[in-house]
Chain A
Amino acid sequence: MTQVTVRDVWKEYDGNVVIERVNLDVAAHSFVSIVGPSGCGKSTFLRMLLSQEIPTRGEIRVDGAPLPPEPTEERGVVFQRYSVFPHLTAAENVAFGLEVAASPLLGRLFGNRRRAVLEQCRAALDAVGLGAACDKYPAQLSGGMQQRLAIAQALIKKPKVLLLDEPFGALDPGIRVDIHKLMLKLFDETGMTVFMVTHDLREAFHLGTRLIAFDRYKTRPEEIGVYGATITFDLPLDRASAREKGEALDELQDKVAVQPA
């Protein structure tokens, strides 16, 4: 069970403030949906959780320990695109994380050990509904299947924290419904903490146990760059009443008008 704390985090690019004064305490096994208008720094915040970027000020801790300065195994990720390796089959994509752990020099297993790992990966692919696509290359899979593969690939390492950057933004609505079900099932089974950036408010409400919104509180042109975005809205979805959720949806819909990715 993993807690994440964010203390007074700022991010600046070339002196322009993108994010400021972000404070957040995330309880173990939370599913945090992050919404906000385009360019409000929600993806930047996710990249900082990933250590793809380093906060200019402030500190992020996972289970009390400061984040290492580079991506590590404890934090898995699924991006909107390019999350899987195009030159590996589905099973090999999932096996990657296990193979590099078992073989430091070649990053690859052979013979019986490889067969055992691939067997394990088949089971993992079965669990995300890709059992029949083990030997296909990503380019042969549909968008939804590729994202299922990316999820299986990340989960095989049993990360404490899973980071999702608009993972379902490019999928058709019907396919989204299925993958939402899968995501909730995996969330319940694993006990990990999930952060998901999304443009889709309904998705944010449906999946999240907690909803946070990023926004700028100063929006005059001369103020952009001097003031950044911060958390303007924070709702515990798992404890909120239906009425609170309804009001929140109304309020956010004005600000976070659903925008194409």
Chain B
Amino acid sequence: MARRLINRHPGRMGIAYLGLLPFVILIFLYATGSALRLADNPGDKLLPGFPAIAEAIVRVAFTPDRRTGEIVLWADTAASLARLGMGLAVATALGLVVGIANGIIPYVRAGLSPLVAVVSMVPPMAVLPILFIVFGLGELSKVVLIVIGIAPFLMRDLQARAEEMPREQLIKAQTLGASSWQIVLRVVLPQMLPRLIDSVRLSLGPAWLFLISAEAIAAEGGLGYRIFLVRRYLAMDVILPYVVWITLLAIASDLLLRAVNRRLFPWLEAGRGM
């Protein structure tokens, strides 16, 4: 008898093919569109052909710049990743400390939780002008934007996770003689770290958004700066590879964090599949 649609599953290869199919279609559509436009006007810049894109990649990724001697793509990548890394590190540290304190210590929660709730509602891009005025147009304002953008989310998420911990564990730790500090250090913190890393993974998207926005508005280098700079020349042959590169970096950082979680916290996986 024919099964219902919801009960039919593709095989291993089927999953691979079906997953690849949309990408293939997109590339095919682009190639067709590009070929049509180029046939019409060989000077078209909107949908450059693959040879033109390859040429641009060689230029930005493998050829030193004539004026600075730097390879543009790597210099941009280094600048952007430094900002992103710093912003994420500060936001993560703040999220961890404030989140756990809010989740576990009622007096801290009473004092800080409303502030965090309000701050998390402020649209970060709206305070970017203030950051530029206060911290100048240098690195600091971009890092602070990332921090303001994602730290409140991390704090609230971690607070919720800490509050979700079974009461029994905190009681049990007390009957074993642990102080508040020891409970935080040995019971709460180790169980919050993997959740924190998961939350940071979810924050990567917004973090990139804030980074590229800040770079687009005021910077002297960086991936976001570059694509907004070459936009003036309709340089799609540079913008498209940059977008792909940023996407790859985002995927890589996500995979990296996932691997860290599995590596550092074996007890999470333990017992699965039993």
Docked-complex contact A82 and B177, CB < 8 angstroms = no
Chain A residues near B191 (CB, 8 Å)? Answer: 85-87
The verdict on A236 contacting chain B, using a C-beta distance below 8 Å, is no
- Interface mask (B137-171 → A, CB under 8 Å = 1, otherwise 0): 00000000000000000000000000000111101
Known: A70-B174, A73-B176, A97-B177. A137 touches B267 (CB 8 A): yes
Chain B residues near A154 (CB, 8 Å)? Answer: 172, 175-176
Q: Chain A binding site: helix, strand, loop or mixed by DSSP? A: loop
Residue of A50, A72, A83, A139 touching B267 (CB-CB under 8 A): A139
Residue on A nearest B187 in the bound complex, by CB: A85
Residue on A nearest B272 in the bound complex, by CB: A139
Size band of the A side of the interface? 35 or more
Residue of A84, A107, A139 touching B182 (CB-CB under 8 A): A107
User: Which residue, A82, A99, A140, has most C-beta atoms of chain B within 10 A?
Assistant: A82
Docked-complex contact B172 and A83, CB < 8 angstroms = yes
Q: In the complex, what distance in Å separates the CA atom of A50 from the CA atom of B171?
A: 9
In the complex, how many residues of chain B place their beta carbon closer than 8 angstroms to a beta carbon of chain A? 27
Residue on B nearest A94 in the bound complex, by CB: B176
The verdict on B274 contacting chain A, using a C-beta distance below 8 Å, is yes
Residue of A72, A79, A104, A139 touching B172 (CB-CB under 8 A): A79
- Interface mask (B50-94 → A, CB under 8 Å = 1, otherwise 0): 000000000000000000000000000000000000000000000
Task: Output the least CB separation between A134 and chain B (Å).
Answer: 14
Docked-complex contact A79 and B168, CB < 8 angstroms = yes
Q: In the complex, what distance in Å separates the CA atom of A96 from the CA atom of B266?
A: 19
The verdict on B185 contacting chain A, using a C-beta distance below 8 Å, is yes
Spell out B's residues near A (CB within 8 Å).
Answer: 166-169, 171-179, 181-182, 185-187, 190-191, 265-267, 270-272, 274
A139-B274, A157-B177 are known contacts; what are 13 more A-B pairs with Cβ within 8 Å?
A50-B171, A52-B171, A71-B175, A77-B172, A84-B172, A87-B190, A87-B265, A104-B182, A106-B185, A139-B272, A140-B271, A153-B172, A154-B172
